[in-house]
């Protein structure tokens, strides 16, 4: 069996119980070495065969899976965060289906959730924003025109930008087409890792502060008034608000 597992954002304790069990019993692990914390591999069996996909192309990854599968082995494909977010898993899953290799998906804690815990933030604050946009800036990978940063920023929703901190100066300019320049912004580098770093500011100064901190990759940019101090209390815990559980 093949398991496509989310390893979580960094802290090795943030893999799910189910994911960890599969890591512990795997005969073969192929992990995304660029971002998966290698410490997770210490949970693997002593004789587990380990491959770092940072040095492999898709064909090589598939070859390892096919060979292992034909030998009746349990294979774990370990992705960073949650595999469904910029995980390049669809192409792998389609090839596995074509080859009649069964697989199971096990979700993980995405880095945007790790960043919320680092910032002690709630992304969906009543009267501030009830929407979270996960996106990226166009780089080598094209982004559909309707999803440009400029157009998404018009919603003034909470926005988490992946894979773009290296272009933060250009990014913050585009964001300021929709958000006001004093909108709170933060950059979280290696959320939940031991060397995590947080930079806080506003759209007007976040680029400069981030560059000063020397952060060029492995970071998320978070923008929105949910990082500010004004919000309404939630209805959920309001003493006058009746729920299914509280009459």
Q: Which is nearer to ligand SAH, 101 or 221 (CB)?
A: 221
Burial 209-220 (b: 16+ CB within 10 A, else e): bbeeeebeebbb
Closer by beta carbon to ligand SAH, 31 or else 193: 193
Q: Which is nearer to ligand SAH, 68 or 87 (CB)?
A: 87
Q: Are 229 and 125 contacting, i.e. CB atoms less than 8 angstroms apart?
A: no
**Closest to ligand SAH by CB, 141 or 229:** 141
We find the least distance from the C-beta atom of residue 247 to ligand SAH, in angstroms, to be 39
Residue 240: CB minimum distance to ligand SAH, A: 38
Cβ nearer to ligand SAH, comparing 68 with 83: 83
Least distance to ligand SAH, CB of residue 36, Å = 9
Which CB, 68 or 163, lies closer to ligand SAH? 163
Query: Minimum distance from CB of 166 to ligand SAH (Å)?
Result: 9
**Packing angle between helix 58-70 and helix 90-98, nearest 10 degrees?**
40
Q: Which residue is nearest to ligand SAH (CB)?
A: 81
Nearer to ligand SAH, 35 or 75 (CB): 35
Q: Determine contact, residues 5/106, Cβ cutoff 8 Å.
A: yes
Q: How far is CA 90 from the centre of its chain?
A: 16
- What is the nearest approach in angstroms of ligand SAH to the Cβ of residue 147? 16
Contact footprint for ligand SAH (CB under 6 A): 9-10, 35, 79-82, 85-87, 110-111, 114-115, 162-163, 188, 190-193, 218-220
Q: How far is the CB of 92 from ligand SAH (least distance, A)?
A: 13
| Distance (Å, whole) CA 82 – CA 87 | 7
Closest separation between CB of residue 217 and ligand SAH, Å? 6
């Amino acid at each position: 069996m093949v398991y496509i597992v989310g390893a979580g954002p960094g802290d090795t304790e943030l893999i799910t119980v189910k994911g960890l069990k599969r890591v512990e019993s795997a005969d073969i692990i192929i992990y995304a070495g660029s971002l998966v914390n290698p410490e997770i591999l210490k949970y693997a069996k002593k004789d587990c065969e380990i491959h770092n996909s940072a040095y492999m192309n898709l064909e090589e990854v598939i070859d390892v899976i096919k060979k292992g599968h034909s030998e009746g082995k349990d294979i774990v494909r370990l992705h960073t965060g949650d595999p469904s977010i910029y995980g390049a898993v669809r192409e792998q899953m389609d090839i596995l289906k074509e080859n009649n290799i069964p697989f199971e998906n096990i979700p993980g804690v995405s880095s945007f959730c790790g960043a919320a815990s680092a910032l002690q933030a709630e992304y969906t604050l009543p009267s501030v924003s009830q929407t979270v946009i996960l996106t990226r800036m166009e780089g080598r990978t094209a982004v559909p025109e309707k999803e440009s940063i400029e157009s998404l920023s018009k919603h003034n929703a909470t926005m988490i930008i992946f894979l773009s901190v290296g272009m933060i100066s250009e990014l913050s300019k585009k964001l300021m087409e929709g958000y006001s320049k004093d909108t709170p912004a933060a950059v979280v580098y290696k959320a939940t890792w031991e060397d995590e770093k947080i930079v806080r500011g506003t759209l007007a100064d976040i680029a400069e502060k981030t560059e000063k901190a020397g952060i060029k990759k492995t970071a998320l940019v978070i923008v929105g008034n949910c990082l500010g101090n004004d919000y309404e209390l939630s209805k959920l815990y309001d003493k006058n608000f009746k729920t299914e559980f509280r009459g």
